[in-house]
Structure 1
Amino acid sequence: MTVQDIRAFNRFYTNAIGALDYGRHLYAPYTLTESRVLYELAHAPRTDAADLRAELSLDAGYLSRILNKFEREGLVERGPSERDPRRRSVTLTPRGRDAAGLLEERARESVGRLLLSLPPADRPRLADAMRTVREILSEGRAPRPEDVVLRGPGPGDLGWIVQRNGAVYAAEYGWNADYEGLVARIVAGFAEDHDPALERVWIAELDGRPVGSVMCVRDEAPATARLRLLLVGPEARGLGIGDRLVRAVVDFARGAGYRDLVLWTNDVLGGARRIYQCHGFALVAEQPHHSFGKDLVGQDWRLNLGEPGAGRDEKRE
């Protein structure tokens, strides 16, 4: 391979995805770099300007000009970092999140059209080839927490939740197909009838593949939301994904006006229970039962969203 081979591929790929075609309004009214900054701000759990500069390999002055522009337009707010007062944190305003969401929607539609133009048999080959490029150019670097993106579900993701839950719990706990059936019913109910303002699904994505998920749905009790189907695949554990998914549910439920957030789990799921406890959930009831081919102890947990500071681990903040 020569330098010209790589340059030729770069020219071909940027044309294929429309990165240079401003007429498609993919990034308008922002430049490609500005759009990428908005993307990072929308998907990172916490962002300091220094981290953003390092992640994107941007010149400090260039990034500062972009952030100044965003601040003038009401897209971002800046203030002292919670982790280090010497640093500056950057967060999106509601207007900024709307702008980032519009860009995300355009990008997904553009890539979706590209994939639809390909024969179905070629799509896995393309994904594998792109994954190979990333692995080689990253020099075998281990995944980092900032490599994980939380997003809404796309086509096929709800089916993935069912399949992955069934496979992981069968492999790790020996649960039978009854559990996969339960997950399928929960997911089908969400897909058929949900209120986007009050119910939501998050997918954790790493290297273009889903590796985790969680749901927030309405409970039968008034002003109560229910956290359901928290899952992090074994290939992505240790990156803080479970914590981020639960935090996303807590923040969403509080913002949607729920008073309480509840969940049901089993005592064998120790890792998940520790995450719930870190976010302020309290055990309110437990009951032995025989389900999924096993003798288990079911547990009900509750978080009061109305209490100041509820759901926050002060040590981590």
Structure 2
Amino acid sequence: MPVELSDPVAAVRRFNRFYTPAIGLLKNGYLETPYTAAEGRALYEIGKGDGVTAKTIGEITGLDAGYLSRIVARLERDGVIAREPAANDRRSTLLRLTPHGAEIFEAFDRRSSALVEGLIAGLSGAERARLVEAVETVQELLGPDKTPAPVTLRLHRPGDMGWITERHGLNYAREYGWNGHIEAVTARICADFLDGYDPALERCWIAERGGERLGCVFLVKDEVPGVARLRLLMLEPAARGLGLGRRLVEECVAFARAAGYREIVLWTHAVLTAARAIYAATGFELEETWTHDDFGAPEVSETWRLRL
């Protein structure tokens, strides 16, 4: 059964169940050595570090200090590592491989590379490139030093209208139980925008972060001269609470003023409380209400207007 996009916890847990046995983490001896995976991880940091403290290993691996101390003691008893004072701080002790430890580490490192090469042996060049991209994406998203990319607003591109239509249909169905008519309405608005697009007087903005679409809004010509219409303000659930909705609306207002419009009008629904709060905070005023059942159940529709 495929994991839904809305359940990342299940997806990560499923990957963990696949990957841990695939790389031998559940075996008693990791990579055909007498050591556990945690001991092998410490050995790797010592082998690659060329003189590293236990504290540094703990910071890199996240291993508990007491557990790490027992690992270091075992490796020392086995003659794999040796301690020596740090040249710049006699109170600090560095860990290095012994000649015997270097032999063990070389075999350990070679087996680790061979294991991974075996896993990817059947992949084509293109598939290997996809794998590298996916692994780097996981590191970027889950790494301890992850800094969220900035949210940018850009103009529409090919493919955006299909995404806007899909996300309106899915989000409104999930959150409000609306039927497929909302998707039909959205598709018509998108088609009309593309067919009659006037870049001097109209815009579609896509909010994006790290290449992922987070939301959208349109400003288009109304049937009444001098009046613009704000349409299809939408944010993905994960993008809410960032002030992005207001940013999109303010972008519409600034563009409308620069384009010479005298008013902006919009159609919304009473149930969309977050959007209504943004409109009110931006200076729009509620002008008219009525009820319809186009989306499967009675909904209170509203017209809001902003005089520029």
- TM interval, shorter chain, is 0.5 to 0.7
1:131 paired residue number: 137
Kept after mapping to 2: 8 A contact 1:289/1:296 = yes
CA pair 280-156 structure 1, distance change in 2 beyond 3 A: same
2:184 is aligned with 1:186: no
Q: Which amino acid aligns with 1:247?
A: E
1:211 to 208, 214, 217: 214
Q: Which amino acid aligns with 2:188?
A: R
Q: Which amino acid aligns with 1:135?
A: L
CA pair 124-304 structure 1, distance change in 2 beyond 3 A: farther
Aligned partners of 1:126, 1:294: CA distance in 2, in Å?
48
CA pair 196-170 structure 1, distance change in 2 beyond 3 A: same
Report the Cα offset of residue 158 of structure 1.
1.4
Aligned partners of 2:306, 2:253: CA distance in 1, in Å?
9
Kept after mapping to 2: 8 A contact 1:131/1:207 = no
TM-score by length of 2: 0.56
1:292 paired residue number: 295
Q: Which amino acid aligns with 2:138?
A: T
Aligned partners of 2:128, 2:195: CA distance in 1, in Å?
31
CA pair 130-299 structure 1, distance change in 2 beyond 3 A: farther
1:248 to 239, 242, 251: 251
2:161 is aligned with 1:158: yes
1:263 to 266, 280, 290: 266
SS at match of 1:294: coil
Aligned partners of 1:290, 1:175: CA distance in 2, in Å?
10
Report the Cα offset of residue 135 of structure 1.
1.6
Aligned partners of 1:266, 1:167: CA distance in 2, in Å?
17
Kept after mapping to 2: 8 A contact 1:153/1:203 = yes
Over the aligned positions, Cα root-mean-square deviation in angstroms equals 2.5
1:281 paired residue number: 284
Kept after mapping to 2: 8 A contact 1:225/1:258 = yes
Q: Which amino acid aligns with 2:184?
A: G
Structure possessing the higher radius of gyration over alpha carbons = 2
Instruction: Answer 1 or 2: higher relative contact order, Cα 8 Å, separation at least 6.
Output: 1
Report the Cα offset of residue 222 of structure 1.
1.2
Aligned partners of 1:298, 1:181: CA distance in 2, in Å?
17
Sequence identity of aligned pairs in percent? Answer: 47
SS at match of 2:274: helix
Q: Which amino acid aligns with 1:202?
A: W
Report the Cα offset of residue 193 of structure 1.
1.7
Aligned partners of 1:124, 1:212: CA distance in 2, in Å?
27
2:226 is aligned with 1:223: yes
Q: Which amino acid aligns with 1:273?
A: R
Partner deviation per Cα, 1:184-225 (whole Å, 9 max, x = no partner): 000011112210110000001122200100000000011000
Report the Cα offset of residue 161 of structure 1.
0.5
Report the Cα offset of residue 154 of structure 1.
2.1
2:199 paired residue number: 196
CA pair 186-281 structure 1, distance change in 2 beyond 3 A: same
Aligned partners of 1:123, 1:184: CA distance in 2, in Å?
35
1:11 paired residue number: none
CA pair 222-147 structure 1, distance change in 2 beyond 3 A: same
1:232 paired residue number: 235
Kept after mapping to 1: 8 A contact 2:140/2:146 = no
CA pair 226-140 structure 1, distance change in 2 beyond 3 A: same
Q: Once superposed, which parts of structure 1, at least 4 consecutive aligned residues long, lie more than 6 Å away?
A: 121-127
Q: Which amino acid aligns with 2:250?
A: R
Aligned partners of 1:292, 1:186: CA distance in 2, in Å?
16
Structure 1: any 5+ residue segments left out of the alignment? 3-117, 306-317
CA pair 233-193 structure 1, distance change in 2 beyond 3 A: same
1:171 to 170, 174, 198: 174
Partner deviation per Cα, 1:156-188 (whole Å, 9 max, x = no partner): 111110001111000000001000000000001
